[in-house]
Amino acid sequence: MFVLGGARSGSAAVARLLARCGAALPAMPGDARTDDMTGGRQLRTPRIINDKILRRHGSSGVDPTLRLQDESTFDVEEREACVAEMKGFLAGASNAPFVVINDPRVSQLFGLWSEAAAAAGFDVAVVIVVRHPSEVVTSVAVGGAALPELSSALWLKANLLAEIETRGMVRVFVDYANLLQDWRRELERISVALGVELDTGDEAAIERSLKSNPDRQRDCGSVADLAGANWISQVHEELFLAARDEPWDQSVLDHVFAAYQASERSFRPVFAIFEYLDKMNPHVRPSVMKMIDRARVTANRRRITGSSPLRAGLPGWPLRRH
């Protein structure tokens, strides 16, 4: 079972809740993590696998682009290697009725992970955790990480990928606010939708865990959209209808995905040039940059006037015959 959602979406808290109700985590030494602000559990190994793949392709967990969704991103050899590594990790799962995998980066590589899970003999099911975008932005701000604009773009990307990449699979949408309000009801929805039995066990411990969750920002106000487009509000509306088991329109997400992808592709070369120059400039002293600028001016002047330093020589540097 994959629990999908962007950073601070509440997906880690949902994964922990499922772990308390009978789910297992792949038994790999040193994998358990408890440093997520939601108090949830994540795993080191999926994070390491995901980060390694993302870095190879110039991406990261805070990359708002859809570069990994380009058809030419993975060749056959690399895809097989990635799936084999993921399958090896999943092979360490216990004999529990179901296993939970949670890492915010999984959504970007879900095609690989789902293929690996199937190859390892698992039936794939998905829990998509949705949260009000303003709550996510507020939570990220508390953590002192990304800017609101970047957080909004990451919210949009994560939710678009989680929905589009899991179509046709057994899945359920969970509203994080609804989970905090009535976790029993949401667990029942998960159980029915995915066909798994959940043992709530120590309900008092679950109550204490959710109430002690430090990441309980609530914001039911208006949605702040991105770049003058209503992409976020549109996606937010449809996904929260899905999380309430009400009729919703997938084509809205198709439209937003296409528009967002076209937009970010157009600006991707510009961002790449900026990143390159930004990395170069700190390593060049102002005095050196001044000399480079002077050389450029001189070269441009000679190009315009048609003079050539090879013919005329530079001042003080007469040409020599050999």
Integer Cα distance of 168 and 297 in angstroms: 60
Integer Cα distance of 140 and 118 in angstroms: 34
Please write the tens of the pLDDT for every residue from 175-205: 999 999 999 999 999 999 999 988 877 788 8
Q: Count other Cβ atoms within 10 Å, centred on residue 48.
A: 14
Greater confidence (52 vs 42) lies with 52
Percent of the chain at pLDDT above 90?
A: 43
Q: Is it the case that residue 271 has pLDDT exceeding 60?
A: yes
For residue 41, the model assigns a pLDDT of: 47
Output the six-digit token pair for 271.
Answer: 């961002």
Integer Cα distance of 249 and 37 in angstroms: 32
Question: Quick check: 190 and 13 in contact, CB under 8 A?
Answer: no
Integer Cα distance of 215 and 243 in angstroms: 20
Question: Predicted confidence band at 35 (pLDDT cuts at 50, 70, 90)?
Answer: very low
Integer Cα distance of 262 and 264 in angstroms: 6
pTM of the model: 0.79
3-class DSSP state of 96: coil
Question: Quick check: 125 and 196 in contact, CB under 8 A?
Answer: yes
Residue 306 phi/psi, 5-degree rounding, is 85, 0
Q: What is the CA radius of gyration of the chain?
A: 25
Percent of the chain at pLDDT above 70?
A: 75
Length, in residues, of the chain: 322
Question: Quick check: 187 and 200 in contact, CB under 8 A?
Answer: yes
Query: Domain-by-domain residue ranges, the chain?
Result: 2-213+226-278
Question: Quick check: 65 and 59 in contact, CB under 8 A?
Answer: yes
For residue 137, the model assigns a pLDDT of: 83
CATH architecture assigned to 2-213+226-278: 3-Layer(aba) Sandwich (3.40)
CA–CA distances in Å: residue 90 to residues 2, 83, 87, 228: 12, 10, 5, 42
Q: Is it the case that residue 144 has pLDDT exceeding 60?
A: no
Q: Is it the case that residue 314 has pLDDT exceeding 50?
A: no
For residue 54, the model assigns a pLDDT of: 94
Greater confidence (260 vs 213) lies with 260
Integer Cα distance of 282 and 138 in angstroms: 32
